[in-house]
Amino acid sequence: MTDEKLQSELRRLNTLQSRARQDEVFGGFSRAQRIEYNKRERRIHDLETELQAGADSEQSGMTGGADQRREWNKSPETDNPQSAAPQSYRSREKGFLERLHRFVKDLAPNRTARGV
């Protein structure tokens, strides 16, 4: 079937299902009505699946395997190399403390010069 026929059948079935749901609210379904409702529901599901599969194949123009390979070969969006990763607090602290000790040492008066 062509997509237009599938879509028109889908619209017709959805309209029937909508009316049936309204009728169910006011009076409930008999066993026969429930069976018909379920048949239409399955047919709607099949039509939607068929239409989606047709749209997917037209849109991609490629096989499923090629799509998957293309996804796997994409470069990651958020991964950074280990060298660019944030440093831990201890490694930053270590460098800071060494610089601080040198700074304080340079500021302190020279005790050996006074003879103390």
Confidence of residue 51 (pLDDT cuts 50, 70, 90): confident
Task: Choose among 13, 2, 3, 21: nearest CA to 45.
Answer: 13
Which residues constitute the domain of residue 8? Answer: 3-62
Encode pLDDT of 83-114 as tens digits. 666 666 666 666 777 888 888 888 876 655 55
Does residue 94 belong to any structural domain of this protein? no
Query: Looking at the domain assignment, is residue 102 inside a domain?
Result: no
Average pLDDT over residues 2-22: 90
Is the pTM above the cut of 0.95? no
Residues 20 and 23: their CA atoms lie apart, in Å, by 5
**pLDDT for 36 beyond 90:** yes
Count of domains for the chain: 1
Cβ atoms of 38 and 21 within 8 Å: the answer is: no
